[in-house]
Structure 1
Amino acid sequence: MSLYAQGTKFKDNYTYQVREERGDLNNDGKLDKITVKMDLVDDTRPLRLQIFLSQPNGKLTLDVSSTKIIEPQYPIENQGKFNGYQIPYFFIERGILKMWSEIKGGNITYHFKYNNGNFELIYVNKITNDATNGYIDENTIFTATNFDLVTGVRIETDEISGSVKPLKVRKKIVLIRPLPKIQDFKFSDQELY
């Protein structure tokens, strides 16, 4: 009796490109590339971030691929309903990869820096407000959080809409070691920062 194993080839369903950004991420003077692609076959519409680094021969090679960093458009826990947020934007500025995302009541920007073969989270800016029903008025309180993960300094500042002087400033040291790596980062991690 002979048995034959049928070879199955993995089909990549992340075919719809949503974002692309180019810039120098590893300070080698060559353009690197990041892409965000959506899986149109899966009902949850998951997204995949990929980072391609340039090589001395000029070709790009895949360095990081993650499906955890961006929330699917129709998460399972929403029973088929839209998550309500835009797909994050990515920017490359002075060798730093920045990811800007909407969150409940505001937005958050993550800063990742290439270090020793990894993209490490080094800084987080978050702005939230306490507006009710989505309406911002003269009594709305905004909270700006600036968290430098390298030094561990986390500063939260509360301000009333239109005010020049802050209501309250809170500063504390929060050391996170080792620094989070982009391939391990999950969209739900926003609650940590």
Structure 2
Amino acid sequence: METTQPFCVKYIYISFALVFTLVQINVLAQKTKTKDNFNYLVREEEGDLNKDGKMDRVTVHMDTTNKTSPLRLQIMLSQPNGKLALAVSSTQIIEPQYPADKHGAYNGYQIPDFRIENGNLLMWSEIKGGNITYQFRYRNGNFELITIDKLTNNSTKGYIDENTIFTETKFNLVTGIRIETDDTNSTKILKNNKRKKTVLIRPLPKIQNFKFSDKDRY
């Protein structure tokens, strides 16, 4: 003889199933929301990075829902089928606009610029007392840091005068040659205004491992 379950038991089963389904939907929604937080496009650049004659794309998005306003760099490379595929995604290469360690204060620097020249990716960033440009090349499936060009000054007054000394640092990571050159607006002659040394970094830094704080290393 077929037995039937009491109505209350069926009701409990149905209620449990409904609650379980709602919980799963909520979890999925939270995951989707977390994934899509970088919702504001700040920078976009196109050019051929992988030397296949097709346009690749570089984007920077900001997470406007996070109080620190973090930024995400993504590089999408063209494929034989004509579509773009994500090759790099990094949230550590650009400093958040309002870093946690500054307790809600603006970091003082504009969002870096990206451009593609001669098949290489250039990143220009403001730093204390100047700016720095990183150049990355695409090789063997990675973007390697190959040159750094940094310009700083020693002014502590908030403006440039005749006593200000400008220092340009050119670092070729492929050859390891690092050259610092000092200059000034005045007519005085600077002693030892050019310094050259060899600094070998192997393997070359890769963009996916690069942090905005690495600027202090160079």
TM-score past 0.5 threshold: yes
Identical positions, percent: 65
* Match of residue 145 from structure 1: 169
TM-score by length of 1: 0.95
Q: Following superposition of structure 1 onto structure 2, how do residues 92-171 of structure 1 map, counting pairs within 5 Å?
A: 92-161=116-185, 167=191, 168-171=193-196
SS in 2 for 1:10: helix
The question of 1:83 aligning with 2:112 is answered no
Q: 1:24 deviation in Å?
A: 0.4
CA distance in structure 1 between the aligned counterparts of 2:159 and 2:48, rounded to whole angstroms: 40
Q: Which structure has more strand as a fraction of its residues?
A: 1
* Match of residue 5 from structure 2: none
* Match of residue 186 from structure 1: 211
Moved over 6 A (4+): none
Residue identity in the other structure for 2:72: R
Structure 2 unmatched ranges of 5 or more: 1-12
* Match of residue 58 from structure 2: 34
Q: Deviations over 1:120-150 (max 9, x none)?
A: 0000000000112221011110000000000
* Match of residue 8 from structure 2: none
Q: Which structure has more helix as a fraction of its residues?
A: 2
Structure 1 unmatched ranges of 5 or more: none
The question of 1:13 aligning with 2:37 is answered yes
Q: Deviations over 1:128-178 (max 9, x none)?
A: 001122210111100000000000000011111266976411101000000
Q: Which has the higher contact order (CA 8 A, sep 6+)?
A: 1
Residue identity in the other structure for 2:114: F
TM-score by length of 2: 0.84
Q: Deviations over 1:63-107 (max 9, x none)?
A: 000000000000001110000000000010001100000000000
Larger radius of gyration: 2
